[in-house]
Amino acid sequence: MKRLWPDELNFILDGAEEVVIEVPPHGEGGDAAGPDASHGTSRKALKVHLTEGDFQRIWPLAETRYRVGGKLDGKAITLIANNPHYYKWHPSDGGTVQDMSESGRQHTTSYVDVHFLLDDVRQAAPG
**CB neighbour burial string for 113-122, b if at least 16 within 10 angstroms, e if fewer:** bbbbbbeeee
- Cβ atoms 116, 94 nearer than 8 A: no
Residue type, 75: K
pLDDT at 127: 58
Of 42, 45, 55, the C-alpha closest to 91 is 55
pLDDT at 84: 86
pLDDT at 123: 64
Domain boundaries in the chain? 7-33+46-120
pTM to 2 decimal places: 0.80
pLDDT at 44: 96
Environment class of residue 85 by beta-carbon count within 10 Å: exposed (0-12), middle (13-18) or buried (19+)?
Answer: middle
Residue type, 127: G
Q: What are phi and psi of 82, to 5 degrees?
A: -130, 5
The C-alpha atoms of residue 48 and residue 70 are separated, in whole angstroms, by: 17
Question: Could you read off the pLDDT tens digit of each residue along the chain, which spans 127 residues?
Answer: 689 999 999 999 998 999 999 988 764 444 444 444 557 789 999 999 999 999 999 999 999 999 998 889 999 999 999 888 888 999 999 999 998 888 889 989 999 999 999 999 976 555 5
pLDDT at 79: 96
